[in-house]
Structure 1
Amino acid sequence: MTEPQRLLLVHAHPDDETITTGGTIAHYVRAGAEVTVLTCSLGEEGEVIGETWADLVVDRADQLGGYRILELHRALAALGCNPPRFLGGAGRWRDSGMAGTSAARKPRAFVNADRDEALGALVTVIRELRPQVVVGYDPEGGYGHPDHQQVHSLVTEAVEVCGTEVYPDAGATWEVSKFYWTVTGHDQLQSGLAAIDELPAGWRLPVDGELPSVPESTITTSIDIRGVLDAKREALRAHATQVTVAPSGNEYALSNDIAQPILLDEQYVLVRGEPGGDATGRETDLFAGVLGCASHH
């Protein structure tokens, strides 16, 4: 009997799941897969766009994290996904902010998490959900945020140990078939930026190298999300304290007002497991080559 496809995506803050993998989430939900987003902090240290929720920030009411739980629920609902899960429970670890800030020195900051506790919590989730495919970040964490780098480190180790007898209290062992990093390819980013013809007032285009990307040669896998772009746009709009979608629907910006294209493919690097599909080109399915898995593509 074939098992359903099960996909686990581990993200640092609410909105990361939609920005980098929102189309992938919607795509696999529609394909009948069991998709779970595990978020590691509440994004308490974020800036806020506009005046409506401006007083929620850390040095005022410090209520932004709780509000971002709501945004994450709305975004995942827009993608058709299960409600969010939080590593260690909602609020267990706090957004660490950028490196060198006072936020990173707070005892509850995610970068200061007890390694054994955080790893054990992640292994427990993997063994419970039994995903064949896990998605995390590359070593840079995309754009160098310490929480993203912490996710990279923890997920990499958790995928390695969840099939072993380490953490015997964390449930029955489970071997992950494929582990990916979510990335943005240089060429795709450049062509997306080149296609932008007009920007909302106050926005600007990024200067060269300002947005993170990886060399095309490193990308192993590309998921076509054209069929679910409306869901991704709706999910981006759900993160309204953090993200503004341009009227065109083709770009978005964070609080820095730097335009970023909403790309038509979401790209990945396979770092564990065997690539499936055509050896000459990129994979087009995260589950390609996973045995005993019901395929809906």
Structure 2
Amino acid sequence: MDEDRNQVRLLLVHAHPDDETITTGGTIAHYAQAGAEVTVLTCSLGEEGEVIGDMWARLVADEADQLGGYRILELHRALDILGAQPPRFLGGAGRWRDSGMAGTPSAANPRAFVNADRDEALTAMLAVIRSVRPDVVVGYDPEGGYGHPDHQQVHSLVTEAFDIAGSDRYPAAGAPWTPQKFYWTVTGAHQLRDGIAAISEVPEGWRMPEDGELPSVPEDVVTTSLDVRGVFDLKRDALRAHATQVTVAPSGVEYALSNNIAQPILDVEQYVLVRGARGNDVDEAGRETDLFAGILGYDFDH
């Protein structure tokens, strides 16, 4: 065991810049402040995204096609605010392109992430896991949260990579390493309902979400809830860093993407434990309160 193995490590795998802050920004800041080494692996540059406002509007894919490079800058800024390690990109920045939504021309691009050679992408994923050597890995559920093909591709790749990282398969990806826990980032239906209900004022030009419009999972699926109120300001500031993609409301407790649908900035981030031992520290709902709970050999004061 390394001399520095008293420091726990967290790896979060996301599809595009801003995903890491929207769903797991509080988790990143929480564990970074607690002394964990937190790494975010991003699998594309989000080149197909829309842009909020006029300043950077012509960076989009069908004009200058420079949005991906700018979003690298936004990701650097956000992760610096959250206290994470510098960003890492699957296969190197720009290796695979944002696929856009299923059925769009961007999804047919040979460079699109959904069209990646499976062995190459899996080798790249394993190389990051084996070099970072995380105790805990976070990815997406099979739906990828809201059905984006890149999120679903992340789910598929990170699940397989987690399961074989400790084996001797793909030796070119480095020495074996076995992470101890694997989670999906999710939003419980009740949490989303209550967050929407708490929205008291919708900024001009925004609208409230319709029933079922925002993704969530049934309450009985959620295994883990992490209270991130102590780092809420950092999460909000990191959302602001993704200014081409996210607008934070004047209230400071809601945000919207380019569709101007109001969404709550959640102060509890929820997960599904998929691999590993469930921790004994639970809340009144019986859910874990620490992603590192149950990992033997560590006394991590969070």
Shorter-chain-normalised TM-score: which range?
Answer: over 0.9
**Contact 1:206/1:259, CA 8 A, preserved across alignment:** yes
Kindly indicate whether residue 119 of structure 2 is the aligned counterpart of residue 135 of structure 1.
no
Kindly indicate whether residue 290 of structure 2 is the aligned counterpart of residue 285 of structure 1.
yes
**Contact 2:281/2:289, CA 8 A, preserved across alignment:** no
- Give the secondary structure class of the aligned counterpart of 1:36: strand
Which of the numbers 53, 57, 69 marks the counterpart of 1:54? Answer: 57
- With the length of structure 2 as denominator, give the TM-score of the two structures: 0.97
- Give the secondary structure class of the aligned counterpart of 2:122: helix
**Contact 1:218/1:269, CA 8 A, preserved across alignment:** yes
Partner of 2:126: 123
Partner of 2:218: 215
Percent identical across equivalent pairs? 76
Matches of 2:288 and 2:67 in 1, distance apart?
38
**Contact 2:125/2:158, CA 8 A, preserved across alignment:** yes
Matches of 2:144 and 2:298 in 1, distance apart?
29
Kindly indicate whether residue 204 of structure 2 is the aligned counterpart of residue 204 of structure 1.
no
* Matching residue's letter, 2:239: L
Which of the numbers 237, 250, 258 marks the counterpart of 2:261? Answer: 258
Kindly indicate whether residue 244 of structure 2 is the aligned counterpart of residue 241 of structure 1.
yes
- Give the secondary structure class of the aligned counterpart of 2:73: helix
Matches of 1:262 and 1:155 in 2, distance apart?
26
Partner of 2:158: 155
**Contact 1:5/1:294, CA 8 A, preserved across alignment:** no
Question: After the TM superposition, which residues 15-30 of structure 1 pair with which residues of structure 2 at under 5 Å, given as runs?
Answer: 15-30=18-33
* Matching residue's letter, 1:160: D
* Matching residue's letter, 1:288: A
Matches of 1:273 and 1:255 in 2, distance apart?
37
**Contact 1:41/1:91, CA 8 A, preserved across alignment:** yes
Question: After the TM superposition, which residues 47-86 of structure 1 pair with which residues of structure 2 at under 5 Å, given as runs?
Answer: 47-86=50-89
Kindly indicate whether residue 182 of structure 2 is the aligned counterpart of residue 186 of structure 1.
no
Structure 2 segments unaligned to the other structure (5+ residues): none
Compute the RMSD of aligned alpha carbons: 1.0
Matches of 1:33 and 1:286 in 2, distance apart?
12
Deviations 1:237-270 (A, max 9, x none): 0000000000000100000000000111000000
**Contact 1:246/1:252, CA 8 A, preserved across alignment:** yes
**Contact 2:136/2:181, CA 8 A, preserved across alignment:** yes
- Give the secondary structure class of the aligned counterpart of 1:142: coil
Instruction: Report how far residue 278 of structure 1 moved.
Output: 4.3
Partner of 1:38: 41
Instruction: Report how far residue 3 of structure 1 moved.
Output: 2.3
- Give the secondary structure class of the aligned counterpart of 2:41: strand
Deviations 1:1-50 (A, max 9, x none): 75211000000000000000000000000000000000000000000001
- Give the secondary structure class of the aligned counterpart of 2:146: helix
Kindly indicate whether residue 298 of structure 2 is the aligned counterpart of residue 276 of structure 1.
no
How many residues were matched structurally?
297
* Matching residue's letter, 2:296: L
Matches of 1:87 and 1:151 in 2, distance apart?
10
Instruction: Report how far residue 293 of structure 1 moved.
Output: 2.4
Structure 1 segments unaligned to the other structure (5+ residues): none
**Contact 1:180/1:270, CA 8 A, preserved across alignment:** yes
* Matching residue's letter, 2:157: L
Matches of 1:43 and 1:205 in 2, distance apart?
25
